[in-house]
Structure 1
Amino acid sequence: MNSWLAAAPRAEVAHGAMGCIVSVNDMADRPPRPLSDGEVLDLGGKRVRRLETPHVPHGWDAGVMYEETTRTLLCGDLFTAIGNAPALTESEIVGPALAAEDVFKASCLTAETAPTMRRLAGLGPTSLGLMHGPSYTGDCSQALGDLASAYEARFTDSLRK
């Protein structure tokens, strides 16, 4: 991040307000721009909207970006997968995400996990930009809904134990 800031003197780091408070303020050479939930940045032809998703998939400072002009949801650690994959896929991504969750147990499963993911599905994204897996261009709302249902079932099962 600081190398990018050094190379681009007018650039600024933007993150959710909580993320700025808990980490970015301490790490960035220049003060970051805290974004509120729903705030839109115009990047000159592209518009990204910050969406707060506390603890989804993990961390109280969690959030995603939604690029409005292409309807691309930048998912962060949602749909993490293990192993090699093509850069772009229409193949099923929920199964690999659940398999990775079985290994890492990295997602916070709370009463708010599934509703938060369903809110993201309601955006009607046409592609999902995954941090740890291929970008996905299948039925994005369905994939988000299916992962939400699987996590909801796991959360409900954990209450019975």
Structure 2
Amino acid sequence: MADRPPRVLVDNEVVDIGGKRFRCIDTPHVPHGSDAGVMHEETTATLLCRDLFTRRGGGPPLTENDIVGPAMKAEDFWALTRLGPTTAPNIRKLIETKPRTLALMHGSSFSGDTVSALGALADRYEARLRKPMGH
């Protein structure tokens, strides 16, 4: 229940919920057609990644271990990412947020080198896009 009607957030709009500030970041077609955006909580520098780094199976709640490898294995299994020419650039633009934590929807949140993880994920999708069909 809400005391007012819902409204659509625009790209880079910040919503202050009293102590936490969430920035809406549009990422058209990334990770999926229906999940075309993420949120960045600015006070803790946490990027709420949605399905960007989905993994299969369990893990600890927070890790500094590789999250790109497991994400690509999950992608091999489910093929859920909308792969296109804007996939990698949309992931790379998230580097600008300089997150301290990547909060994943399906997998352990990540507190390691977040900038490198985002860059590596973008690189891996870009390589897949450039790979000839049938290989």
What TM-score results when the alignment is normalised by the length of structure 2?
0.94
Matching residue of 2:45:
71
Residues 1:59 and 2:54 aligned together: no
How far has the Cα of 1:106 moved from its partner?
A: 0.1
1:37 aligned partner, one-letter code:
D
Relative contact order higher in (CA < 8 Å, ≥ 6 apart): 2
CA shift for structure 1 position 33: 1.7
Gaps spanning 5+ residues in structure 1: where? Answer: 13-30
2:82 corresponds to 1:105: no
Amino acid aligned to 1:124: K
Q: Which amino acid aligns with 1:92?
A: D
| Residue 142 in structure 1 maps to residue 116 in structure 2 | yes
* Aligned counterpart in structure 2 of residue 153 of structure 1, from 120, 127, 133: 127
Which amino acid letter does the alignment assign opposite residue 104 of structure 1? W
Higher helix share: 1
Bigger radius of gyration among the two: 1
Q: Distance in 2 between matches of 1:60 and 1:95?
A: 24
Q: CA RMSD in A?
A: 1.2
Does structure 2 conserve the Cα–Cα contact (< 8 Å) formed by 1:54 and 1:60?
no
What secondary structure is seen at the aligned counterpart in 1 of 2:112?
A: coil
Which consecutive unaligned segments of at least 5 residues does structure 2 have? Answer: none
| Percent of matched pairs sharing the same residue | 56
